[in-house]
Structure formats: structure tokens, C-alpha cells
Structure 1
């Protein structure tokens, strides 16, 4: 009997130890398949002081589209979305510094200004003068910084669930952060499940083995994410610069967004009065994942508007 119990204990320990690792392998395989389906390849781009992991695809001579992910995410969130654009655009999807395949460096400066400067360096390294840029959450913060501080590099601006302005009403995440319980900084699986539940109102099916791997990744990266969060959340808010945005712009929000309240969309819209505002019912913080085709359709309208704007701009 003791032998059986011991064997069961060994099996249970082995499953506990390997389960997230299996998920990591599956994540990598799925990402490769999705990248292939979207027509992008992994490309490492050296810039000053570091290298940036990217996905790139599409016609090298077509207009360029830069896609920027949010805090704690990576370039993989854009893969399903990207396949709607690679037939007509040169698509570039970087991991922001400290995220994804990019090594974290303590004291590396993860402010919005620094992340935007790295994107300018990426464009230079890719020999691109101008791009359309679409960002999600913190990536939208970086995108708006690019449009206001490097306007000569931006053709159009898409903001999805954008962080970067003062919140106009109490918010669940802000309340948790102020109480010392930042939902992004995860210590255990229960906290991860709470965080994941906040990210999407209509998430696609994700197998448990992948969720286990993602939970382990967040737990292991907790100290790194703490520093990155402090750097980006201490960055200047965008309100003073928003009237400087001159390019065609889209503000896209999920009405059920628990990470950044939908009321924030009005702040962005008041600051960029020419921007088009679209709010998606039944959708949370990641519309490009939750409602990929609908989000892509709105963004394609933005890019078509930018074509018209470019044709009549003096």
C-alpha cells in the first residue's frame, strides 16, 4: 500500500512539475502555426543597446503597420488580427522592451518615452520613415506618444482600450493598485485567475494547460513586472499633447473593459476631437482577441481614411 501511495505521489509531483512546461511548449507551437497563418515570421532587430524580437510580414514595399501590445502581454496577441492586414501592408509587431522574447534588464527604463524612442529606433533599423500605428492599452499609450512627439513618423493612429490619461471615474484596477493589491503582480494561481477574468468579457477557449503555463510565467516575472509597471505608470499623462494629433485617428473600446474604464474613451475623444470613436458591446479590454474581425474592420476603415487624407494633404 505504501508503495502505491509513493508512486501516486511521484506521479502527482511529476504532473505538477511538467504541466506548465507542457503548456509552454504548446504555446510555442501554437504561436508558430498562427504566425504562419498570418504570414509573419520572427525577426530579431538590433537597435542601440539591445535587440527587439518582432514578427514581420507582408509586402516589404507596402505601407507599414506597427502593432503595439499592452503591459505584461507580448506580440502574440496580434497574430489573429495581423492576418487581416498582411495581404496589403508591411506588418511589424514588436515585443516591447522587458516583454516577450526581449530580456528584462533591471534599471533598463520602461517609461513610455523610452519605449517610444525604441520604436523610433526600430523604424530606423527597418528603414521605415512613416508607419500606421495601432496600440492596445499600454501599447496605445506608446502609440499616442509617438503620434505627438514624433509626428513625422506616424500616418494614422489607432488606440484600443488606451491607458495614458487620468481616469474620469473610479476604476477596479486603480482601486486594487491603491490598496496594494496590483492585479498584474501575481503570486499564485488564484490571483492569476482573477487577473485573467478581468482581461476579456468574451475570451476565446483556452485549454487549462495553457492557462497553467501563463500563470506560472506571471508568477515568475512578478519582480520584473513590478519595475516595468512603476516606470510606465509614472509616465506623464497624455492630455496636454492630445490636441497635437493631426493624423486620422480611431479610438476603439470594449464597453465591458474592466482594465481601463470605457469612460476614458471620452477623455481621448475630447482631446483628439477629429478622432472616430467606436465602442463595442459585450467586449472587454482586448477587442483584437475577443472580436478580431470586427476590430480589424474598424481599423481597416482607419487605414482607408488615412489613404484619402494623404492624397489631399498639402
Structure 2
């Protein structure tokens, strides 16, 4: 199999991503957290007098999914966007745990390296699971939480992905280019334009990480309990965002999250899929800023 890192698609995609991140006020750094080199997009200058927002991507994704959302906050907040362990440029090791609790602890340890003890946390999908978990079990560190199409509960209604997984066909585990295109079509209702030769490169990347993703998927589903009975323990201000056309995590789940998290706010967008921060970056960023403002955080 061709190494995706040697393709023109990878080189151009990486260059464009780097330029875009820089234009939007982010720089690419590596932070050592107890021996693990965590890749991070962060504000070009971390200001100890500014509040901090930490953004967590979903399973199989990486930090670039937040770039266009993050640009709306770099002037007023320290923004920190890590590649979670085993994702993006952060190494995978069979010796590391990739459970939800382990990933949550690493995020707190990462922020400790910056000298930051409290922060606003938002996450998409698996990142939302980590965010909710952190809000319950590491509440002293979390000023507010934002859950964007989060995983972490027994589905109220089955999504297209749920039905595939039950049938033994995990759409995240890619063996062919067509598998990838089928999966990509499920992730967003309004995906940003990406040329086909770059998507082909992403397909190769997913194929190369099949074993890694299979292992991480089994870890985060089996090693930590789901949060259905724990949601009432979330006490920080919480915003829930969801795309009504999400094919990975059914929008009906949003009601359970909202009803069980005290004083939470819920916004659902029609004709938007699993990743509002990419599909409607400005709109979702404006909604999040309003939430922060209404709760006295900006």
C-alpha cells in the first residue's frame, strides 16, 4: 500500500492546513506529557491573563477539524487543540490506554504543563464523551462544557452508524477507498470542499490505521461506563449543540443529554450533520460565544 505521507494529496493538504492555522492565529507545537509527545494547535502566545478554551476532536479525527471554529476565539482566549493519544500526529502505542478516562486525564495533565488549572472544555463525538466525563469526574478543572454531537450514552434512537455497527460493519474501519467515501458521506451533511485527490489521500491514511483504530474503538467503548446515569452530576454551565441530520449519533439523543444535565442549553440545527464546527463554523462559533457571554465568561 502506498504510504499516504508520500502522496501529493498529503503534502498539499498539510501545507494548506498549516497556512490556514497560521493565518487564523494558531501555531503547531509538541508538548511532552509524561513521555508522550502530544501534537497541539495553540494560540501563538499563551497569555496567563486570558481564559482558556480546550477543543477535543472525535474518534479517528484530529485537531484540524477545529481550525475554522477556533479562529473566532484566539483574540480573547488561549486556545489549545490537542491531537488525542493515537490520533493525528500524537503517537499510538499499545502500552498506552485510550479509554475515555485516560484521555481525560491526559488533557488535564497537558494543561498542567501550560500552568493552567481551570479551563472551558468542548468536544465533538468522542471528544464530547471526554468533555462530559471530565465535567463529572474532574469538575474542579472545568469552568464550562460544550458537547457537540457527543458520544457517551445508550442511543435513544439508532443512527445509520449504530445499525451498521450492530450488523458487524464498523464504518470507521476502512479497507478500501470506497469504504472511506461511504464513511465520509456519513460524517457531514454540508462538508467543506475538499478536492478528490486529497480525499483519496485521507482514504489511504484511514486504511493504514485500520488496526490502530480498531483497538482504540474497542478501548473507549469497553473500559469506561456510559454516562446515562451520571449526567445529573454535571454541574458546570453546559451547552449542547447537534446537527439534526447526524448519521453517526442520532439527534434524538440530544433530548436525553439536555433533560439530564441541569440548566443546560440545547441548540439543534436542521440540515447539519455530525460536525457543526466544520459544516457551519461561524454559526456554531457565534452560538458558543453567546453561551460564554450569557454565563459571564466573556
- Contact kept in structure 2, 1:59 and 1:86, CA below 8 Å: no
Bigger fraction of residues in helix: 1
Q: Which residue is equivalent to 2:231? A: 242
CA positional deviation for 1:18: 8.5
Higher mean Cα deviation, 138-147 or 20-29? 20-29
CA displacement 1:225-276 (0-9 Å, x = unmatched): 0000001122211122211111111000000000000001011112103100
Q: Which residue is equivalent to 1:76? A: 64
The equivalences for 1:148-159 within 5 A come to 148-159=136-147
Counterparts of 1:114 and 1:197 in 2: how far apart (Å)? 30
CA displacement 1:93-139 (0-9 Å, x = unmatched): 00000000011112421110100010110111110010001100000
Q: Which residue is equivalent to 2:42? A: 56
Q: Aligned to 1:281, which of 258, 267, 270?
A: 270
1:32 aligned to 2:18? yes
CA positional deviation for 1:20: 7.1
Counterparts of 2:106 and 2:262 in 1: how far apart (Å)? 28
CA displacement 1:28-57 (0-9 Å, x = unmatched): 101111111210111111111312110110
List runs of 5+ in structure 2 lacking aligned partners: none
Q: Which residue is equivalent to 1:213? A: 201
Secondary structure in 1 aligned to 2:273? coil
List runs of 5+ in structure 1 lacking aligned partners: 1-15
- Contact kept in structure 2, 1:19 and 1:209, CA below 8 Å: no
Secondary structure in 2 aligned to 1:256? coil
- Contact kept in structure 2, 1:69 and 1:139, CA below 8 Å: yes
Q: Which residue is equivalent to 2:30? A: 44
Q: Which residue is equivalent to 1:162? A: 150
Counterparts of 2:205 and 2:232 in 1: how far apart (Å)? 39
Secondary structure in 2 aligned to 1:219? helix
The equivalences for 1:62-141 within 5 A come to 62-141=50-129
Counterparts of 1:224 and 1:143 in 2: how far apart (Å)? 23
The equivalences for 1:149-228 within 5 A come to 149-228=137-216
- Contact kept in structure 2, 1:155 and 1:306, CA below 8 Å: no
CA displacement 1:140-190 (0-9 Å, x = unmatched): 100111111011101110000000011012221112112111000000011
Aligned-residue Cα RMSD (Å) equals 1.6
Q: Which residue is equivalent to 1:292? A: 281
Between structure 1 and structure 2, the one with the greater Rg is 1
- Contact kept in structure 2, 1:247 and 1:306, CA below 8 Å: no
Number of equivalenced pairs: 294
Counterparts of 1:17 and 1:71 in 2: how far apart (Å)? 22
Secondary structure in 1 aligned to 2:242? strand
